[in-house]
């Protein structure tokens, strides 16, 4: 199912999140199971199914990484069910450096500054990845979609790194 069509919004990486939220509320009102309380069992089950579908679509479209994955899936590239490994050696080396930097945080003399520096570095890198992704998803060529899939893989890795940094930060303030 094409979630962009369900929400009647243009199929592109950059979306109007406020418009998405409005369309979500409208769709929820239309299919909410409470609206079918006096209907037959089949209608109730259909309403529950539609509500779940609308919820899943909304969660997918509001998250940039999941939105990009959905766009790629619509183009025949399923990142979740693939066995492709990252071939970008410079990114692999950068991953190792970031992992080392995260591991070294616990012994840092200036942990707050080091955390802030990593957050800035992560944010800048994610912004560059998203800009590349935006351009690649706008391109209809198959090669652009393959490159976009690599950007999504990198963004997913960056999200994991950010989560790890957030856990370290939380532990610092607990």
What CATH number labels 3-62? 1.10.287.110
Domains 3-62 and 89-173 share a fold: no
Boundaries of every domain in the chain: 3-62, 89-173
Residue entry with tokens 């609308």: 54
Q: What is the pTM assigned to this prediction?
A: 0.86
What is d(CA 91, CA 124) in angstroms, rounded to the nearest whole number?
Answer: 14
Q: How far is CA 38 from CA 24, 52, 92, 156, in A?
A: 24, 20, 57, 44
Q: Nearest-CA neighbor of 165 among 110, 120, 109, 134? A: 120
CATH 1.20.1280 fits 89-173, yes or no: yes
* Angle made by CA atoms 163, 166, 168, in degrees to the nearest 5: 115
Tokens found for residue 157 = 């890795």
pLDDT in tens, 145-166: 999 999 999 999 999 999 999 9
Per-residue pLDDT reduced to its tens digit, 8-63 = 999 999 999 999 999 999 999 888 777 777 777 888 788 788 999 999 999 999 99
């Amino acid at each position: 199912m094409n979630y962009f069509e369900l929400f009647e919004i243009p199929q592109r990486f950059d979306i109007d999140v406020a418009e998405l939220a409005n369309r979500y509320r409208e769709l929820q009102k239309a299919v909410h199971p409470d609206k079918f309380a006096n209907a037959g069992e089949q209608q109730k089950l259909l309403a529950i199914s539609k509500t779940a579908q609308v919820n899943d679509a909304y969660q997918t479209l509001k998250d940039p990484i999941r939105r990009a994955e959905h766009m790629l899936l619509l183009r025949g590239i399923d990142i979740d069910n693939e066995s492709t490994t990252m071939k970008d050696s410079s990114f692999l080396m950068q991953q190792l450096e970031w992992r080392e930097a995260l591991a070294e945080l616990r012994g840092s003399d200036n942990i707050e500054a080091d955390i802030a520096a990593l957050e800035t570095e992560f944010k800048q890198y994610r912004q560059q990845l998203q800009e590349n992704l935006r351009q690649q998803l706008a391109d209809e060529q198959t090669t652009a979609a393959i490159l976009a899939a690599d950007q999504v893989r990198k963004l997913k890795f960056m999200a994991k790194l950010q989560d790890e940094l957030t856990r370290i930060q939380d532990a610092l303030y607990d």
